[in-house]
């Protein structure tokens, strides 16, 4: 049985492209790639001093067939991916009860706002490891393209409106209203761009780093150039594109009403007149955008802020409008998250010492956090997940780098794997749990077996009788249900699948 393939990695079926399956994490010092299959590079450590002694030894070794050592997986990679899936389930299913952990209505950053950039960060790390060696460029491009198409397909099925799980047992979508964007679609775009840059520059990558503090950056200048181009395109469009007035139609039970939003400006970062929304309305069409944007929970829209509630009588018209949180322009900005993630992967490849890796990772992480704080608190560029602002990129990538480094210290350096095994199991089967758990497909399947009416099903019975009634609180019951009936359940199931060698890869 082959090793698991994660949501963002690829090329596991090629023996030469095996770095996403098994990665060497030994602590040998040096700024060069670990070419363990080369016959005699590491036999002589002091050639100039011991040439006479080493020559017989080298000759003897040359007579021996090369021994291939099986390298270890980087457990941190799986654990971090598992943590991201757990966060997604927690904020998606408990965010309604605890609005403070749900997505920020506009500016700011909550627990839910870390999920998407954490995914993209790990996409970048995984790409670096998966493309550590590229024997054939054309084959690698085909695999990346095929994987991108698979991600797009599943994204449209799960979030385009075709699947109504878990509570609505119907399925199907009106093509006039289908949502083209979503989580997997954004991952697909970032994965495609970052992976193609990595593949097409494979002959330009150095085998060893030149001395210097910034050698890891100059060695991968094309990857950084790709991130910079994404930054320029995003910032130029965000601040330079003119946004005219726009209107939309809302269908109520007994009538339809058209609303108009007055804009006529450029460079606006508020909900109504930003260029991110304008680009999506022009490219996709307003009927194909997300119908329940989080800005409806803002103070100006509802008295229930920060929770969901009825709109105020004097709420602005845009409070009722659709908005795409995974839109085109914001996804271009998200390429920067993948670029920062692939940098962490490059550090993992080139630096064999734990100390050197952590110095690179932690310094980058704190540097990004400082930039984000300056931009946000000076109000130059506020943190904003919906716009995927540059400060948001820096803040979430910096946080991802710090968390990744913390996991690395605990798991791969200190060897404390046992407390995090459940996260590793989930991370190894991330796609399976994302589809069945986070997107509610499994719960929808269970709900399909009901008694007399659709609400009388096993999921609702467990929620009300095991959690709500026992704790006499729907909020506490919801949180405990998510922790024990969802997260714990999927951790146990992922562990069983791991023991059986069952993994779902794209």
pTM of the model: 0.83
User: How confident is the model over 177-228, as pLDDT tens digits?
Assistant: 999 999 999 999 999 999 999 999 988 877 777 777 788 898 899 999 999 9
Distance CA 215, CA 268 (A): 38
Q: Which token pair is 51?
A: 């040439």
| DSSP per-residue codes, 248-297 | EEEE-SS-EEEEEE---EES--SSSS-HHHHHHHHHT-GGGS-SS-GGGG
Distance CA 36, CA 68 (A): 7
**Using DSSP, how many helices (H) and how many strands (E) does the chain show?**
18, 6
Distance CA 108, CA 496 (A): 39
Average pLDDT, the chain: 85
pLDDT at 20: 39
pLDDT at 308: 87
Q: Which token pair is 150?
A: 């698979």
502/50: higher pLDDT: 502
pLDDT at residue 6 greater than cutoff 90: no
Distance CA 461, CA 442 (A): 16
CA 422 from chain centre, in angstroms, equals 19
pLDDT at 364: 96
Distance CA 218, CA 210 (A): 9
Distance CA 70, CA 452 (A): 57
Distance CA 241, CA 267 (A): 7
Q: Which token pair is 49?
A: 């001093």
The answer to whether the bond into 23 is cis (omega within 30° of 0) is no
- Quote helix, strand, coil % in the chain, to nearest 5: 55, 5, 40
User: How confident is the model over 91-150, as pLDDT tens digits?
Assistant: 999 988 888 899 999 999 999 999 999 999 999 999 999 998 888 999 999 999 999 999
pLDDT at residue 373 greater than cutoff 60: yes
pLDDT at residue 65 greater than cutoff 70: no
Average pLDDT over residues 399-412: 95
| Distances 19 to 131, 387, 430 between C-alpha atoms, Å | 7, 34, 18
pLDDT at 72: 58
Distance CA 117, CA 109 (A): 12
Left, alpha or beta for 46 (phi > 0: left; psi -120 to 50: alpha)? beta
Report the chain's C-alpha Rg in angstroms: 25
pLDDT at 493: 95
Banded pLDDT at 299 (limits 50, 70, 90): very high
| Distances 267 to 78, 249, 264, 388 between C-alpha atoms, Å | 40, 25, 11, 15
Distance CA 431, CA 423 (A): 14
pLDDT at 153: 94
User: How confident is the model over 316-366, as pLDDT tens digits?
Assistant: 999 999 999 999 999 999 999 999 999 999 999 999 899 999 999 999 999
Is beta strand 256-261 parallel, antiparallel or unpaired with respect to 246-251?
A: antiparallel
pLDDT at 432: 93
Q: Could you tell me if 43 and 58 are in contact, meaning their C-beta atoms sit under 8 angstroms apart? A: yes
Average pLDDT over residues 258-270: 94
pLDDT at 10: 39
Banded pLDDT at 23 (limits 50, 70, 90): very low
pLDDT at residue 437 greater than cutoff 50: yes
What three-state secondary structure class fits 302?
Answer: strand
pLDDT at 73: 67
Banded pLDDT at 85 (limits 50, 70, 90): very high
- Range with top average pLDDT, 69-78, 310-319, 363-372, 453-462: 363-372
Banded pLDDT at 471 (limits 50, 70, 90): confident
Q: DSSP alpha helices (H): ranges in 25-168?
A: 51-62, 75-94, 115-130, 137-159
Percent of the chain whose pLDDT exceeds 90 = 64
116/43: higher pLDDT: 116
**End-to-end CA gap in the chain:** 16
Q: Which token pair is 465?
A: 């009788």
- DSSP label at 418? G
Average pLDDT over residues 381-404: 97
- Within 8 A by CB and 6+ apart from 88, the residues are 115, 434, 438
The angle, 0 to 180 degrees and rounded to 10, between the axes of the packed helices 390-407 and 328-350 is 30
| Distances 488 to 6, 425, 484 between C-alpha atoms, Å | 20, 12, 5
Distance CA 491, CA 483 (A): 10
């Amino acid at each position: 049985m082959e090793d698991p393939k994660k949501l963002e990695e690829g090329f596991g079926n090629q023996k030469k492209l095996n770095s996403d399956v098994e990665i060497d994490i030994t602590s040998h010092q040096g700024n060069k790639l670990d070419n363990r299959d080369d016959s005699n590079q590491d036999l002589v450590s002091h050639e100039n001093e011991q040439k006479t002694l080493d020559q017989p030894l080298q000759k003897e070794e040359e007579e021996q067939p090369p021994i291939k050592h099986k390298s270890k997986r980087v457990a941190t990679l799986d654990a971090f991916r598992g943590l991201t899936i757990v966060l997604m389930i927690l904020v998606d299913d408990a965010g309604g009860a605890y609005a403070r952990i749900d997505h920020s209505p506009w500016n700011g950053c909550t627990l839910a706002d870390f999920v998407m950039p954490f995914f993209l960060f790990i996409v970048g790390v995984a790409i670096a490891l998966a493309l550590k060696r590229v024997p054939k460029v054309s084959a690698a491009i085909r695999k990346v393209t095929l994987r991108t198409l698979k991600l797009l397909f599943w994204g449209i099925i799960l979030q385009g409106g075709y699947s109504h799980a878990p509570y609505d047992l119907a399925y199907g979508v009106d093509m006039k209203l289908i949502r083209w964007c979503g989580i997997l679609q954004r991952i697909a775009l970032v994965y495609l761009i970052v992976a193609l840059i990595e593949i097409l520059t494979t002959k330009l990558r150095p085998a060893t780093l030149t001395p210097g503090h910034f050698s890891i950056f100059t060695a991968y200048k094309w990857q950084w150039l790709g991130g910079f181009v994404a930054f320029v395109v995003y910032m130029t469009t965000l601040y330079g594109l003119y946004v005219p007035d726009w209107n939309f139609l809302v269908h109520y039970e007994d009538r339809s009403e058209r609303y108009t939003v007055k804009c006529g400006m450029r460079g606006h970062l508020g909900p109504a007149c930003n260029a991110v929304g304008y680009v999506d309305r022009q490219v996709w069409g307003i009927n194909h955008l997300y119908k329940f944007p989080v800005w409806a929970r803002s103070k100006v829209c509802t008295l229930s802020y920060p929770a969901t509630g009825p709109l105020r009588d004097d709420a602005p018209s845009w409070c009722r409008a659709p908005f795409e949180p995974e839109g085109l322009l914001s996804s271009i900005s998200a390429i920067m998250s993948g670029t920062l993630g692939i940098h962490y992967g490059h550090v993992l490849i080139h630096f064999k010492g734990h100390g050197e890796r952590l110095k690179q990772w932690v310094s980058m992480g704190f540097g990004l956090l400082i930039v984000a704080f300056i931009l946000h608190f000076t109000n130059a560029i506020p943190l904003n997940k919906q716009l995927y602002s540059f400060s948001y990129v820096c803040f979430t990538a910096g946080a991802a780098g710090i968390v990744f480094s913390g996991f690395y210290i605990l798991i791969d350096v200190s060897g404390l794997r046992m407390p995090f095994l459940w996260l590793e199991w989930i991370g190894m089967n991330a796609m399976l749990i994302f589809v069945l758990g986070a997107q509610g497909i499994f719960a929808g399947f269970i709900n399909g077996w009901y008694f007399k009416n659709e609400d009388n099903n096993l999921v609702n019975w467990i929620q009300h009788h095991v959690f709500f009634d026992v704790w006499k609180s729907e909020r506490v019951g919801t949180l405990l249900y998510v922790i024990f009936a969802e997260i714990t359940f999927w951790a146990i199931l992922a562990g069983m699948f791991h023991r059986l060698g069952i993994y779902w890869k794209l």
